[in-house]
Structure 1
Amino acid sequence: MPQVQRVPMRAVKNVVLIAHDSRKQDLLDWVKYNRPVLREHRLFATGTTGALVQAQTDLPVTRFKSGPLGGDQQVGAKIAEGELDVLVFFWDPLEPQPHDPDVKALLRIAVLYNIPTACNRATADFLVASSLFHGEYERIVEDHAAKRQAWLAGQGRR
C-alpha cells in the first residue's frame, strides 16, 4: 500500500493562471466571466498573462516571470512546495513552444502533486463551479520519496 500525505487546501485557494499567447484572450474572457468567484481567492500568474489579467479585471495578481524566461519552472517549484492549489493553464496544443520541455515538466508536477488542473475553458468552468473549490479540501499526495526508497531497497541499493 503506497504511503500518502493528506495536504489541506483552505477555502481561499491559491490559483495560478497561465496562457500561451494564442490562448491569452480566451483566458482573459474566462477570468472576466468568473471574476465574482476568482476575487474570493488569491491569484498568481506568469508574466504577461498576469499583467493582462490585472489590467483588464482589476483583480490583484502575484506575478512570476514570463513562462519562457523561467516562470513555468517557478510555478512548478511553488506547486512542489505546496504553495499553489489550482492550476489553470490554457496551453496551445497546435503551436510548438520554444519552452515545451518546461510546459511538460509543469504539467507533470501538477499531476505528481495532485493539484486540480484545467487546460481548457470547459474544465476550468467545471472546476470553479465545484463545491470543492469553495471550501476546504484535503488532496491526497503519494509519498514518492518513500516509494523510491522502497524500490531502491528492493534493488539492493540505497
Structure 2
Amino acid sequence: MSARKSLALIAHDAKKDEMVDFALAHREKLANYELYTTGTTGARILEACPDLNVHRRKSGPLGGDQQIGAMIAEQQLSGLIFFVDPLSPMPHDVDVKALMRLALVYDLPMALNRSTAGILLRSTRLQGLSTSSSTPETPE
C-alpha cells in the first residue's frame, strides 16, 4: 500500500449516485488520497472520475465490507466515508454494523452522509493523520 493517506468510500445502493456526485464535486481533494471502495461503488466512481486512485474490493455483500474492516483493524485507512441508506432494509446489515463498530473502536474519522463527508475532507485532523498511527488498546 502507498504511503499516501487513504480513504474508504462505501455507499448503499440507494446512495451510489450521491457518492458519485460527491466524488465529482470533491475530485481535486480526493485525488490526494488512495481510495479503497467496495465493488460497485468503486466501479461507479471510476467511471465518473477515471483519474482518481481507486482500489476496488469485493461487493459489500460478498465480503467487501469485511475487507475494508480488515484495513481499519490494520490501521491502513485515514478515514471512512460511508453513505448509509437508513430507509432500505439491508440483508448484510450485520456486516455494516461490524464495519462501523471497527471505525469506532479504532477511532477512525467516519462520515455517514454527504454533509459530514464534506466536513471530514476539510478536517485538519484527517489532513494530519498518517496511516501509521499508534495502535489503540485491544478491546476485551
**Shared fold by TM > 0.5?**
yes
- CA deviation map 1:98-133 (0-9, x unaligned): 100000000000100110000001100001012233
Alignment of 1:1-150 (within 5 A): 12-58=4-50, 59-136=52-129, 142-144=136-138, 148=140
Check conservation: 1:114, 1:139, Cα contact below 8 A. no
RMSD of the alignment, in Å? 1.7
Check conservation: 1:114, 1:141, Cα contact below 8 A. no
The code of the aligned residue for 2:69 comes to G
In 1: Cα distance, 2:16 partner to 2:6 partner: 20
- CA deviation map 1:27-73 (0-9, x unaligned): 11111111010101111100000011011111121011000001001
In 1: Cα distance, 2:124 partner to 2:29 partner: 12
Bigger Rg, structure 1 or 2: 1
- CA deviation map 1:113-156 (0-9, x unaligned): 110000001100001012233334686754125xx4xxxxxxxx
| Uncovered stretches (5+) of structure 1, i.e. residues with no partner | 1-9, 149-158
User: What is the percent sequence identity of the aligned residues?
Assistant: 46
| Uncovered stretches (5+) of structure 2, i.e. residues with no partner | none
The code of the aligned residue for 1:36 comes to E
Check conservation: 1:114, 1:140, Cα contact below 8 A. no
Which SS does the other structure have where 2:108 is aligned?
A: coil
The code of the aligned residue for 2:11 comes to A
Size of the alignment, in residue pairs?
136
In 1: Cα distance, 2:5 partner to 2:108 partner: 11
Q: TM-score, normalised by structure 1?
A: 0.80
Residues 18, 69 of structure 1: alpha-carbon distance in 2 compared, 3 angstrom cutoff:
same
The code of the aligned residue for 1:63 comes to R
